[in-house]
Amino acid sequence: MRLERLCSLASPSPSSLPDNQPNDYPIACADRPNSPLASSQVNSTMSERVDADALADRSSRTVAPPRLFRRRFLLPFLLVLPIVLYEGLLIVYPIIQGIYGSFTRIELASSAATIWVGWANYERMFSDPAFWKVIRTTLLFTALVIVVALTIGLLTALLFNRPFRFRPVARGMLMMPWAIPEVPVVMIFIWILSPQFGVVNILARMLPGVTKNPQWLQVPELAMGWMVLISSWKAFPFYSLVILAALQAIPHELYESARVDGANRLQLFWNITFPGIGSTLELLVVLAAIFSFKQFTIIFLMTGGGPSGTTETIVIRIFNTAFRFYDYSYATALGVAGFVVSLAVALVFILMQVRRTQESA
């Protein structure tokens, strides 16, 4: 039908011609389908139609005016400009100023110009035994928080991944510790650990051998333990939520196939669950290390770094050096040291991700 229509367009009917004009047109293709002339006319007509359609389509594409082109070109840069300004003014610029200040002697109470001292602040820092004690305390606190918080987060995620009644309500209540600000958390735990009327003391006296109220925040070993527990209690809901999302992304068919093969729960966890959430756990280890490394509010309000510097991490040391002893130059050097440690942790995670990507490729 399409061929006949094209042929009829190529050869007009005799009735449409004037009486005085001879019919010089070839016979229609429908009458002579095997005619070479008819085939050439059909091909010519089809090519003319294709060229006409292409020309019409090309002409319908109007060229954007210069103003519209400039808007489309500048729009991505305008959208990214606020975050670039934020990062530059509030993050990059303070880092550069801190690094520069660590090589100078800053006297805020004096009108004298800043004096360049070179590596003097770093030489003092590396030769200071208190600095290495602070680093050991910080690393110990960070490692304990990572282990405790991620362990509790993993266990709660495995629990809430199983179906049971009122599971949505339980998941909502799980996020309450993470949603409460740190200052109210500190006030709650100060009341709980109070030597006079604390709830923990009532429970402790029920244990055999405990006859008087323990001084939870005055004993060095107990103070560090409580800092770890409180920080872990505040942070574990976030880790649990992320792990729960990773657990729900594992296909259930893998568990069903493993159960058919006779795998027990421990084998299911070790061979399916743990590899499935491995990359997520690596990310959470880095996040937990960074969050606990810069933990300030809970430690400062609970113990202030005491007793006897047992809970004094590097951020507490920086605050005390800058705003209690007014040694700003040395405080900036300590801040640069903490920044380098955090950057090293982030680089370790990046290298682990690169290695995992290469192994999967």
pLDDT for 306: 83
Phi-psi region of 166 (alpha: psi -120 to 50; beta: other; left: phi over 0): left
What 3 state SS string does the chain have?
CHHHHHHHHHCCCHHHCCCCCCCCCCCCCCCCCCCHHHHHHHHHHHHHHHHHHHHHHHHHCCCCCHHHHHHHHHHHHHHHHHHHHHHHHHHHHHHHHHHHHCCEECCCCCCCCCEECCCHHHHHHHCCHHHHHHHHHHHHHHHHHHHHHHHHHHHHHHHHCCCCCCHHHHHHHHCHHHHCCHHHHHHHHHHHCCCCCCHHHHHHCCCCCCCCCCCCCCCHHHHHHHHHHHHHHHHHHHHHHHHHHHHHCCCHHHHHHHHHCCCCHHHHHHHHHHHHCHHHHHHHHHHHHHHHHCCCHHHHHHCCCCCCCCCCCHHHHHHHHHHCCCCHHHHHHHHHHHHHHHHHHHHHHHHHHHHHHHHHC
pLDDT for 45: 55
pLDDT for 143: 93
**How many residues would you count in the chain?**
361
Residues in the chain predicted with pLDDT less than 70, given as ranges, are 1-65, 68-69, 109-110, 361
Domain-wise residue ranges, the chain? 131-180+215-360
What architecture (CATH level 2) is domain 131-180+215-360? Orthogonal Bundle (1.10)
The pLDDT tens digits for 30-40 are: 444 444 444 45
Whether the CB-CB separation of 339 and 333 falls below 8 Å is answered with no
pLDDT for 198: 82
pLDDT for 53: 55
pLDDT for 4: 46
